Structure 1
Amino acid sequence: MPLRHVLADPGGRAPRGPAGAGCAVINRRAFLGGVLVVSAPLVLPGSASGSTSLAPNVFVALDEHGRVTVTAPKPDSGQGVRTVVALLVAEELAVDPNHVSVVQAPGDPAYGSQFVGNSLSVRTLWEPMRTAGATARCLLVTAAARRWGVPVDECTARDGAVLHRGRRLPYAALVRDAAALDPATVPVTLVPPERWRVLGRTRTGRVDVKDVVTGRARYGIDNRPRGALVAVVLRPPWIGARVDAVDDAAARAVPGVVAVTALEPGTAGQGGVAVVARSMPEALRGREALRVTWRDGTPTADSRVWLAELEAALPPPAAAPGPVAFEATYRLPLLAHAPMEPMNATARLSATGLDVWAPTQDPGGLRADLARRFGLAEADVRVETALTGGSFGRRADNDVVLEAVACSRAAGAPVTVLWTREDDVRHDSYRPMSVHRLAAVVDDAGVPTWRSHAVATWPLSALGPFLGTPEFVKRSGDQFRYAVPGPVDVVVRPAPLRTGLWRAVYAGHFQYAEEVFLGALARRAGLDQVELRRRVLPAGSRLRRALDAAAERAGATPAGATRGVACHEDYGSVAAVVADSTDGGVKRVVVAVDVGPVVHPSGLRAQVEGGVVDAVSTVFGAQITVRDGQVVQSSFRDYAWARIDDVPEVDVVVVPSEAPVGGLGELVYPPAAAALAIASGHAVAGMPVGVGIG
């Protein structure tokens, strides 16, 4: 289906490069003390006097020909981080973004926090990357001013050159002089928004799109150092099972099989028996030949039982200030991440240390964790960050990396561990189940004046106890912004299987339940879905403006259609979604977003569309169930993600905003799922969402 993107102020045809920019003073302490803290010296050896390259910080470098290279400090899991850093630097350095080369940083504390998640990437890169580019520009402008013997503030930078009253010096002619300057002595300023020519205006595609579509891009699954072997793992046949005994004689007899090793749960991932071979087909044949007996675990586990246990664990009803007019219970199922690129990692454990090539959400954190686990100095652990074919929270879990290290130790060689699609679906770190009971007191018009929300769910067990407290669950999930008071009570029960981060984390649970509950209240009162929300949203709020923008674009509800509406504020951004369902399916979705300054318009559109696709998938059938101790689903055949003909028309409206830059990657999924559920008839009459789930 077509997807239209509407900028509130398109600004006409995008210019080729940034506006002229000179240099004034920026608060350098704010740069170094920002969210992305640079703990290593910003001035690199390449900036010393006489250098033929300019590298004033760890992020930006210009060679003697004036070619610009930007180092992306955070991984790119498909959200476009590498394109964002190119645009941020191009704006401040006054160069065409198409002339910027981007390389990926390894895991290293010199780049600050390298974690991607919680929609933090743009928010944490915004000031450091702009300042890095501005620092290089101001060094070049200062070098030109000194060569001409003119005041710095009379010079400007534009299209890769410094200008002064008709004179022009390209960056290539200034690199050596600029490299001789001390960056700490040169005042720096950022380009003001009214002079932007790149950020939010340039219709730039992804910097790596050509490599991706032509197959040159190297994902984690493509990394194979010289001499690397391949491993697959025979995984537990039921949840929590451990290896009891292994008969590997037949597996070792398979041509090409090099080693067979048992993996201890926890220290070597999720456990099982790994077969290491020269190739993937040989490793798979070796795995088929294994004879393993298992013990422990829960071979009778059943997700229907888990769901009933969560419902029984709900906190008791809160005392209401008046008669409860409506109460509903909503049940949300397990979900798998199912990234297009299955889990994989390559490791080489040797006398000189540990080398890892992995698609990961936190290369710096992974490096530190590996050093701690294996008793190595951090300097002896090297993590190369691969381009990632999707993550959605899954690659915050390093289980596959631990498997690769264990296999390398056993084989005495570098080893690439590859998961099959079945491995990926049946042994994920799943989104937890949850049960929500909501109740409301309403006024004479049916508008809620009080509401309570009781939640029972599981912690994120794969990521440590600090992500398992009721306080964390509530802080992550409870983003209710309506002027309707009432308590939110959370109970967290032990997770019976491995759980982890999943797009929007607990907000995807809470906001879904709360918005479909509001949808049910509107239907009961005979109120328009938009009107009900307008009555309980503060006038002039960002959410109210986004709701109004979405409603205006959507227009009147089409004849014979059912409308669903939902709002969400999180990650420093807001979104409002209007979905219309006709003939049993949702045909059109309007999404209005306010993310503060827009960095990459086509990237924004892609993130919104991705959130809607995930919502379509989960609302209309994708779920994980457990029977007889094992996950039933095994691939996209039975874990049915949306196909192209399932996706409605998506219309994106960007709401003008002077708010600080916000996050977007996880923003749209919760309200899109709720709006789709309301439009398609789920829960609006008080029926439980997901009847028959589990």
Structure 2
Amino acid sequence: MNRRVFLSATGGAALVLAVVPEAAADARTGTAAPGASGTGGEFAPNAFVRVERDGRVEVTVPRTDIGQGVRTSLAMLVAEELAVPFAAVRVRTAEADPRYGGQMTAGSTSVRFLFTPLRRAGATGRVLLVRAAALRWGVPDAECRAVDGRVVHPRSGMLPYGRLLADAAALDPATVPVTLVPRDEWKIIGRRRRRVDNADVVTGRARYGMDVARPDGLVAVVARPPLIGASAEQVDAAAALAVPDVVAVERLPSGVAVLARHTAAALRGRERLAVTWAGGDPTASSADWLDELAEAVPAAPEAPPGTPFSASFRMPMLAHACMEPINATAHVTDDAVHVWVPTQFPEGVQQQAAELTGIDVSRVRVEIPLGGGGFGRRSETDVTEEAIRLSALARRPVKVMWSRDDDTRHGSMRPASAHTLHAVLDERGMPVWRHHAFATWPLTVAPFFGRPELIVQNGDRFRYAVPGTVTARVLPAPLRTGFWRSVYAGQVVVAEEMFLTALAVRGGLDQVALRRDLLAGEPRLLACLEAAASAFGWGATLPAGHGAGVACLDDYGSAVAVVAEVDCSGERPRAVRVVVAVDVGVVVNPSGLEAQVQGGVADAVSTVLGAQITVRQGAVVQSSFRDYAWLRIDRAPRVEVVLVPSSAEPGGAGELSYPPSAAALAGAVHAATGRLPAGLPVVGEIG
């Protein structure tokens, strides 16, 4: 992967730079990019909007929909400003194209970064259509209004957009000032909206990456090493090639691929491969790795006078567990590359294909179907590398399929970490000084992201009025690591909030009151805390064996507070209820926001109550949902989402609820049992 391309799309606290698409930047100034265009049958004022003669509108969304509903929320922005009924909108996902600037879907940035540019893209179309109608009627623009796909004038009547397309396309956008619809006049933004693809998803019509099928295409699966770090030494492919419909066996840097006319034959062929593997460490153990991290935690600086308190936590590796298995299809010809992949990093795939094949990047086409979950995993380009290499060898389209077992054992992992936190308490038991030291691994998929200061910047979100510092040490990663929902905040914030709860439990302090006192200078967080506590009914007596925990987070331009209830009266803790109060500034689609919050809570319940990746005898133990203990629907808690009114600019939500939900659940277990968890998960051995 070209480092420059990756850096252009990642970095900073949220791991994503605010790269404003060029076309959107032009729309912001009231000009189209590269210019308004159209025929008698359509009008395209910029790269994002196309109005057709029948009144339908096509909105091109430059981010990947991997289940978070971004195609719906971003299309709502355009429809609002273009003044068209949302039912008239058809949405397409943009292919990789430099016209859109950074297209990486990560860091909870889609709505944050595109809120104003896409509104201006829609508004540009609206003002041009209004100008076209005003010129035809010979009246001032200001006397005309755009309403539901029509331009209306009190005396001249009404013209539907479809009758104004050619006139609008002939205008110079630079001569027409762009104004945005005032917030008090919004009809679409802020209203609940079902996802544009809901019906297709539930009926099976939606097309995901794994549904791609090309004429004369092959399917490939890869035999991967049994030990971490091993590689293929000798390959006997005779038995595999004897399987009907198996076409070829090829070596790859990642293993040995079996290519066949369909998936079943490829899998049978892989089972019959005879591969001798070399390398790897058969003694490697994730428990040992966590011990090494714990020993590497930096020492705390000298503390000021007062009552000392400290606690240590361990956070294990996690796999992404995307519902749709990882896949990519590629077709390499002599002078072009065509890739179909549900990627979070389209421009990275495009650059990778050019580098692997020597074909100019302008001849690389990347189409992006729907993706069944991502959580950071689909920002990586390992599967597209395999598909491109195999297609170049086969000289025909090749779809590479990873099984769920493949990805659980050979995909990237969230780095493990070990944390020690220190505090000095006053006579009331309140913290007056703190230090958080931790050791972790870098992200091997983004090697530059191994600097301790960047990891601290990404992970530390401590907003409480307690002076202190955070220090990190980074050890070499023993396996491939990558972005996982909320990245390092999912460990650092969880440890910090668990520590605050430990302080409260130790001193007999109220968890909410403790945080309320320490958040006096954080009005957004404080409002969320009060809203969550009120909705939960904080202070009411809980049943025997139950406990409640609290946690807060300010990140991604948003604020959130979580109160969670856990039942610890049985053999294993069970999450009962989770209340999440969230302030994301302007809410585009309340239904989509609630779904994002609920997804983060589900991940939190999973990782607090059992899910982790462990390594024994040099290999990952877990393989699929049968032993990677993700939340089942019959054990899902009741989740209540409180939307805190806000006038702030739009913030991110995709990763927002995971860290505080995990911390609140762990704190609830602590409150119920009186025992401080050693980290996550709170049951069984960590690592």
Matched, 1:486 2:475: no
Residues 507-550 of structure 1 show CA distances to partners (whole Å, capped at 9, x for unaligned) of: 00011000010001011111111000011112452111111111
Equivalent in the alignment of 1:145: 134
Partner Cα separation in structure 1 for residue 194 and residue 159 of structure 2: 29
Matched, 1:250 2:239: yes
Task: Give the counterpart of 1:179 among 161, 165, 169.
Answer: 169
Task: Give the counterpart of 1:632 among 616, 621, 643.
Answer: 621
The residue matched to 1:79 in structure 2 has which SS?
A: coil
The residue matched to 1:129 in structure 2 has which SS?
A: helix
Equivalent in the alignment of 1:510: 492
The residue matched to 2:22 in structure 1 has which SS?
A: coil
Task: Give 1:289 shift.
Answer: 1.1
Partner Cα separation in structure 2 for residue 303 and residue 287 of structure 1: 28
The residue matched to 2:579 in structure 1 has which SS?
A: strand
Equivalent in the alignment of 2:4: none
Equivalent in the alignment of 2:549: 564
Task: Give the counterpart of 1:347 among 330, 346, 349.
Answer: 330
Stretch of structure 1 that moved more, 363-372 or 45-54: 45-54
1:523 touches 1:684 (CA, 8 Å); kept in 2? yes
Partner Cα separation in structure 2 for residue 112 and residue 190 of structure 1: 22
Residues 73-111 of structure 1 show CA distances to partners (whole Å, capped at 9, x for unaligned) of: 111111111101210011101111121000111111111
1:234 touches 1:274 (CA, 8 Å); kept in 2? yes
Stretch of structure 1 that moved more, 537-546 or 111-120: 537-546
The residue matched to 2:23 in structure 1 has which SS?
A: coil
Partner Cα separation in structure 2 for residue 480 and residue 540 of structure 1: 11
Which residues of 2 match residues 288-687 of structure 1 at below 5 A? 288-463=271-446, 465-539=447-521, 541-555=523-537, 556-560=539-543, 561-582=546-567, 583=569, 584-681=573-670, 685-687=675-677
Q: Which amino acid aligns with 1:568?
A: L
Task: Give 1:685 shift.
Answer: 4.2
Equivalent in the alignment of 1:73: 62
Partner Cα separation in structure 1 for residue 361 and residue 106 of structure 2: 23
2:306 touches 2:426 (CA, 8 Å); kept in 1? no
Question: Normalization by structure 1: what TM-score?
Answer: 0.92
The residue matched to 2:90 in structure 1 has which SS?
A: strand
Structure 1: unaligned runs, 5 residues or longer = 1-32, 265-270
Partner Cα separation in structure 1 for residue 522 and residue 271 of structure 2: 63
Partner Cα separation in structure 2 for residue 586 and residue 437 of structure 1: 26
The residue matched to 1:564 in structure 2 has which SS?
A: strand
The residue matched to 1:56 in structure 2 has which SS?
A: strand
Residues 444-491 of structure 1 show CA distances to partners (whole Å, capped at 9, x for unaligned) of: 11111111100100001122x211110111011011100101111100
Equivalent in the alignment of 1:131: 120
Task: Give 1:324 shift.
Answer: 4.7
Equivalent in the alignment of 2:686: 693
Stretch of structure 1 that moved more, 630-639 or 321-330: 321-330
The residue matched to 2:314 in structure 1 has which SS?
A: strand
Task: Give 1:302 shift.
Answer: 0.6
Partner Cα separation in structure 1 for residue 350 and residue 307 of structure 2: 53
Distance 1:122 1:492, change over 3 A: same
Residues 3-57 of structure 1 show CA distances to partners (whole Å, capped at 9, x for unaligned) of: xxxxxxxxxxxxxxxxxxxxxxxxxxxxxx9733339987478944764311010
Partner Cα separation in structure 1 for residue 505 and residue 71 of structure 2: 45
Residues 214-240 of structure 1 show CA distances to partners (whole Å, capped at 9, x for unaligned) of: 111110001111111000010010000
Partner Cα separation in structure 1 for residue 246 and residue 392 of structure 2: 15
2:352 touches 2:385 (CA, 8 Å); kept in 1? no
Task: Give 1:65 shift.
Answer: 1.8
Residues 301-351 of structure 1 show CA distances to partners (whole Å, capped at 9, x for unaligned) of: 110110110011110122111245211100001100010001100011111
1:39 touches 1:109 (CA, 8 Å); kept in 2? no
The residue matched to 2:42 in structure 1 has which SS?
A: coil
Task: Give 1:687 shift.
Answer: 4.4
2:602 touches 2:631 (CA, 8 Å); kept in 1? yes
The residue matched to 2:303 in structure 1 has which SS?
A: coil
The residue matched to 1:86 in structure 2 has which SS?
A: helix
Partner Cα separation in structure 2 for residue 50 and residue 511 of structure 1: 54
Q: Which amino acid aligns with 1:210?
A: A
Distance 1:521 1:40, change over 3 A: closer
Distance 1:245 1:39, change over 3 A: farther
Q: Which amino acid aligns with 2:477?
A: A
Partner Cα separation in structure 2 for residue 299 and residue 609 of structure 1: 39
2:600 touches 2:655 (CA, 8 Å); kept in 1? yes
The residue matched to 2:439 in structure 1 has which SS?
A: strand
Partner Cα separation in structure 1 for residue 245 and residue 370 of structure 2: 29
The residue matched to 1:275 in structure 2 has which SS?
A: strand
Partner Cα separation in structure 2 for residue 321 and residue 372 of structure 1: 55
Distance 1:390 1:119, change over 3 A: same
Partner Cα separation in structure 2 for residue 108 and residue 48 of structure 1: 18
Equivalent in the alignment of 1:82: 71
Q: Which amino acid aligns with 2:526?
A: R
Partner Cα separation in structure 2 for residue 275 and residue 50 of structure 1: 49
Task: Give the counterpart of 1:119 among 88, 108, 121.
Answer: 108
Equivalent in the alignment of 1:29: none
The residue matched to 1:659 in structure 2 has which SS?
A: coil
Partner Cα separation in structure 2 for residue 550 and residue 621 of structure 1: 26
2:119 touches 2:180 (CA, 8 Å); kept in 1? yes
Stretch of structure 1 that moved more, 659-668 or 675-684: 675-684
Task: Give 1:557 shift.
Answer: 3.1
Task: Give 1:410 shift.
Answer: 2.3
Partner Cα separation in structure 1 for residue 199 and residue 614 of structure 2: 39
Partner Cα separation in structure 2 for residue 434 and residue 87 of structure 1: 40
The residue matched to 2:340 in structure 1 has which SS?
A: strand
Q: Which amino acid aligns with 1:616?
A: V
1:586 touches 1:679 (CA, 8 Å); kept in 2? no
Partner Cα separation in structure 2 for residue 692 and residue 258 of structure 1: 45
Q: How many residues align structurally?
A: 654
Task: Give the counterpart of 1:98 among 81, 87, 97.
Answer: 87
1:334 touches 1:431 (CA, 8 Å); kept in 2? yes
The residue matched to 1:54 in structure 2 has which SS?
A: strand
Task: Give the counterpart of 1:274 among 257, 262, 284.
Answer: 257
Q: Which amino acid aligns with 1:127?
A: T
Q: Which amino acid aligns with 1:214?
A: T
1:315 touches 1:489 (CA, 8 Å); kept in 2? yes
Task: Give 1:686 shift.
Answer: 3.8
Question: Normalization by structure 2: what TM-score?
Answer: 0.93
Partner Cα separation in structure 2 for residue 49 and residue 669 of structure 1: 45
1:519 touches 1:684 (CA, 8 Å); kept in 2? no
Task: Give 1:559 shift.
Answer: 2.9
2:38 touches 2:44 (CA, 8 Å); kept in 1? no
Stretch of structure 1 that moved more, 334-343 or 534-543: 534-543
Which residues of 2 match residues 39-54 of structure 1 at below 5 A? 43=32, 47-48=36-37, 51-54=40-43
Q: Which amino acid aligns with 1:404?
A: A
1:239 touches 1:298 (CA, 8 Å); kept in 2? yes
Partner Cα separation in structure 2 for residue 98 and residue 687 of structure 1: 50
2:670 touches 2:676 (CA, 8 Å); kept in 1? no
Matched, 1:200 2:200: no
1:331 touches 1:436 (CA, 8 Å); kept in 2? yes
Partner Cα separation in structure 1 for residue 290 and residue 202 of structure 2: 43
Distance 1:281 1:51, change over 3 A: same
Q: Which amino acid aligns with 2:556?
A: Y
Equivalent in the alignment of 1:241: 230
Partner Cα separation in structure 2 for residue 661 and residue 34 of structure 1: 16
Partner Cα separation in structure 2 for residue 48 and residue 572 of structure 1: 36
